[in-house]
Amino acid sequence: MKLSSTKETTFRTRLAAWVVGLSLAAITALSVLVVTMAEPGDKSNVSQLVFSSVLPLFGTWVGTVMAFYFARENLEAATQSTLRLSGGYEKDDSVSDVMIPRAQMIVRSTTSGQQVGTITVESIAAIITVTGKKRVPILDDKGSVKFVIHQSLLDSYARTVTPEEYAQASLDDLLANSANKRLAEAIGFVSITATLGEARDQMQRVSGCNDIFVTTSGYPAEPVLGWLTNNLLATVE
């Protein structure tokens, strides 16, 4: 989706809100008017008639509006999934349309005050084993991405140490090897306003990069907002 599409969606949402609000206000005002203008002896009957007529109308109206919005969101989600699988995105589309949102990212984060280097290798490997994912972003306690650890890197490291050493190893131990650290740091960053083409260009500028992260301004120190893998960017036309 492009910026023009986003503006159109905003306009439609506001228009729908105005139509719904004014319609409900008109129904309410008409109901009050009918009850007010009724003869004193008929007010009770008129009130019951208005109530029995307007209440189902309110329920139907609200149900219709909710169904419209929920159906639209489901359709948009399904459309996005189809586009991801079919490679239907273009380089001028926004990264926010394709990225994996932070809430859906499976990561290994530090707790408050904990150093990233003290994260154990086994805790990262456990995430890969449980989730079936092949890579795990490492975040500090501010929510910033520091490294991405791929399963291939863990497998390679495991062949260089004993099982006992592997069980006790920390991220600092893993990254003490310069080649391992270079692979873990082969990540790029773009802003939330960037296009998919810019994200792909950034990936190509970083040697060995397979992961692009989205932040507010594109700075590594900022909390991550989303994630673009090489597999996602490979589908961009």
Each residue's pLDDT tens digit, 91-146: 899 999 999 999 999 999 998 788 999 999 999 999 999 999 999 999 999 999 99
pLDDT at 31 over 70: no
pLDDT digits 0-9 by tens, 185-197: 999 999 999 999 9
Q: How far apart are CA 206 and CA 159, in angstroms?
A: 27
DSSP 162-228: -HHHHHH-BHHHHTTSHHHHHHHT-EEEEETT-BHHHHHHHHHHSTT--EEEEESSS-TTSPP-EEE
Which pLDDT does position 112 carry in this prediction? 78
Radius of gyration of the chain (CA): 27
Closest CA to 68 of 15, 2, 3: 15
pTM higher than 0.85:
no
Secondary structure of residue 232 in the 3-state scheme: helix
pLDDT band at 81 (very low <50, low <70, confident <90, very high): low
As a whole number, the mean pLDDT across the chain is 82
